[in-house]
């Protein structure tokens, strides 16, 4: 019974304390990098986000969905509404329904979600050697190591150490993937995309750009949050100072 199995697994992990570190084993710490969006005053680099979106659009989105991404959200990476409209129109989405009640296809609108590459999980697995490419909407927040890990993973493909065999045919050795053997083929290669701004499309450059785009995709409200936070901190700091001065004044004759 599923329930019994789940119960046993959960208890084995949590209560009896059996080592559950199968996945966590052998994971190598991704090297810490510095990113323009880090820190209290950190902001996204718009040019990098737009290059990163190009990599996402032409490479990642072939296998990965991004179900929380609407075309109109791309204003956040600095695209103007007309560009977004034209971009959306390159894609076809199915709508329901025309006046006769029939589903019909139409060009995507800015309000549409970025179309997923596969209609369902089975189709995704069937096309990917049984593995399911995860949705990328929250991927940077959903992985320990966050953007450092994503960047390290994209650039961490190596020849397997001598004598190591893949657990399944068609898997690849990656220094930073937990367990090292990953179903995703090395996604980036020199010159895979052509950047309109003339930046050379090295693997390192593309990995850095697309990681920044995915960070934005995971936390699109970051800049608004930090801006608000700075105002909030200054306001509360002044207010606290006033409270302290008033407290001192009131309490002066108590002690």
Residues that bind other proteins (CB under 8 A): 1-3, 6-7, 9-11, 13-17, 19-24, 40, 67-68, 73, 134, 137-138, 141-144, 146, 178, 218, 220-221, 224-226, 228-230, 232-233, 236-237, 239-240, 243-244, 246-247, 250-251, 253-254
Minimum CB separation of residue 8 from other proteins in Å reads 10
Please say which residue, 137 or 205, places its beta carbon nearer to other proteins.
Answer: 137
Nearer to other proteins, 26 or 98 (CB): 26
Rounded to the nearest whole angstrom, what is the least distance from the CB of residue 125 to other proteins in the complex?
13
Token digits of residue 115: 């179309």
Q: Which is nearer to other proteins, 192 or 222 (CB)?
A: 222
Nearer Cβ to other proteins (104/246): 246
Q: Taking the complex as a whole, how short is the minimal distance between the CB of residue 35 and other proteins, in angstroms? A: 15
CB of 220 to other proteins, least distance (A): 6
At closest approach, how far in Å is the CB of 201 from other proteins? 29
Contact 211, 154 (CB under 8 A): yes
Measured CA to CA, the distance from residue 92 to residue 77 in angstroms comes to 22
The rounded radius of gyration (Å) of the Cα atoms in the chain is 24
Q: Which is nearer to other proteins, 19 or 161 (CB)?
A: 19
- Of 122 and 228, nearer to other proteins (C-beta) is 228
Least spacing, CB of residue 198 vs other proteins, in Å: 32
- Three-state SS across the chain? CHHHHHHHHHHHHHHHCCCCCCCCCCCCCCCCCCCCCCCCCCCCCHHHHHHHHHHHHHCHHHCCCCCCCEHHHHHHHCCCHHHHHHHHHCCEEEECCCCCCCCEEEECCCCCECCCCCCCHHHHHHHCCCCCCCCCCCCCCCCCCHHHHHHHHHHCECCCCCCCCCCCCCCEEECCCCCCEECCCCCCCCCCCCCCCCCCCCHHHHHHHHHHHHHHHHCCCHHHHHHHHHHHHHHHHHHHHHHHHHHHHHHCCCC
Q: How far is the CB of 217 from other proteins (least distance, A)?
A: 10
**Residue 2 vs 162, nearer CB to other proteins:** 2
């Amino acid at each position: 019974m599923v329930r019994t199995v789940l119960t046993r697994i959960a208890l084995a992990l949590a209560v009896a304390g059996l080592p559950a570190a199968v996945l966590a084993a052998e994971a190598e710490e991704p090297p810490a990098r510095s990113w323009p969006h880090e820190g209290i005053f950190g902001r996204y680099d718009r040019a990098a986000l737009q290059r990163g979106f190009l990599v996402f659009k032409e490479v990642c989105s072939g296998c990965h969905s991004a179900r929380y991404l609407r075309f109109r959200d791309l204003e956040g990476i600095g695209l103007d509404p007309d560009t977004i409209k034209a971009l959306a129109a390159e894609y076809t989405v199915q709508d329901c329904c025309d006046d006769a009640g029939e589903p019909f296809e139409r060009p995507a609108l800015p309000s549409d979600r970025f179309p997923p590459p596969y209609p369902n999980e089975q189709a995704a697995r069937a096309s990917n050697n049984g593995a399911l490419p995860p949705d990328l909407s929250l991927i940077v927040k959903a992985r320990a190591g966050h953007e450092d890990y994503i960047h390290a993973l994209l650039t961490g493909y190596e020849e397997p150490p001598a004598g190591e065999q893949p657990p399944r045919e068609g898997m690849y050795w990656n220094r930073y993937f937990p367990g090292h053997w990953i179903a995703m083929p090395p996604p980036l290669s020199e010159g895979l995309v052509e950047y309109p701004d003339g930046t050379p499309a090295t693997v390192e450059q593309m990995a850095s750009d697309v990681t920044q785009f995915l960070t934005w995709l995971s936390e699109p409200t970051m800049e608004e949050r930090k801006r608000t936070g700075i105002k909030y901190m200054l306001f509360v700091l002044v207010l606290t100072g006033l409270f302290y001065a008033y407290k001192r004044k009131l309490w002066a004759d108590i002690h």
